Amino acid sequence: MAQARNTLIDPSSTPYYHCMARCVRQAYLCGENHLTGKNYEHRRQWVVDKLRELVSVFAIEVCAYAVMSNHYHVVLHINQLSARGWSRDEVLHRWTTLFTGPLLVQRHLAADKLGSAELARIDEYAEEYRRRLKDISWFMRCLNEYLAREANKEDECKGRFWEGRFKSQALLDEAALLTCMTYVDLNPIRAGKVETPEESNYTSIQERVEQVTNTETKKQPLTLKPMCLQGQNTDVALPYLLHDYLELVDWTGRVVRTDKKGSIPSCTPPILERLEIDPDEWLKTMQRNNRFYRAVGRLEVMKAYALEAGQKWLQGLNVCSRLYLTG
């Protein structure tokens, strides 16, 4: 049974969420439809361009993304601190880059003289928009409605483009965030489209590799939430060193490729040891993400999350106890 989105996305539990949207039936978001011969590869850039625009407006950051043929993944971070720091007029300017806004807001931004009652109403609008600009549901709505509208216009058709509302998973701790980011970045490798992370076009891992190698690219990159530097405050960056993360994705990608037996090399990346993640269970998780549903995290935080959500049980509790070695 579908649940209210506000029970699935609760910033007080975690600011990190893994979201995914899939096209309906045989609709193609990107790639080539072998049945019709039509190529939709150019639509991948639509996703990246719109994400870049939305990141510049919302108080939401992209940690990882992958654009596939009939679906896409994003790992998002709600930046509450950034949203609280915006002035009233900055909030209004941000919102009106996406939507026209009511006439009263337009008059205020045009510097018309307003009375006290009208200014009070402007304050109410600004606080409502501030809430929306740190709301993942609004972020995903702006992304998915745009993509559906553009695809239907190009296909000269009407009707539903997405199979339903986007799916979301709460990432309750550092280990869960690492798990889902890596899963997302390995999508093209797991699908057999490419063999290495740097070949994975329209993914965050390719952008992060190019960040290190300074590879010139014709594509304008998406502004990703940065990895932390040694000693940096993790409030403003992801809690992993970039070279550790790249090593982990490369190692995992080599093992989960379909032409490999799946045995674990002796050179397990130290980030797994540091976060106390079982390597065998890690690789099983990278090959399929249906081990979890609403949330991902260590056993104790999963139980606490279930309790807060009024649930006696959550899918994935047994997997969490095996994957994450400490609760």
Q: What is the pLDDT of residue 128?
A: 97
Count of helices and strands (H, E) across the chain:
15, 7
Residue 211: its H or E element: helix 204-213
DSSP state of 197: G
| Predicted local confidence at residue 1, as pLDDT | 44
Helices 242-256 & 204-213, crossing angle to 10 degrees?
A: 130
Residue 101 zone, left/alpha/beta (φ > 0; ψ -120 to 50; rest): left
Q: pLDDT of the chain along its 327 residues, tens only?
A: 455 555 678 888 899 999 999 998 667 777 777 777 788 889 999 999 999 999 999 999 999 999 998 899 999 999 999 999 999 999 999 999 999 999 999 999 999 999 999 999 999 999 999 999 999 999 999 999 999 999 999 888 888 899 888 999 999 999 999 999 999 999 998 888 888 888 889 999 999 988 887 655 556 667 899 998 755 556 689 999 999 999 999 888 888 765 555 455 557 788 888 889 998 889 888 887 677 888 999 989 988 888 887 777 778 888 888 999 876
Using DSSP bridges, classify how beta strands 16-22 and 71-78 pair: parallel, antiparallel or unpaired.
Answer: antiparallel
Q: What are the two backbone dihedrals, phi and then psi, of residue 74, each rounded to the nearest 5 degrees? A: -140, 140
CATH number of 10-79+135-323: 3.30.70.1290
Domain ranges within the chain, ordered by starting residue: 10-79+135-323, 90-132
For 206, residues 6+ apart whose C-beta sits below 8 A from its C-beta are: 197, 198, 199, 200
Identify the sign of the CA torsion 137, 166, 69, 172. positive
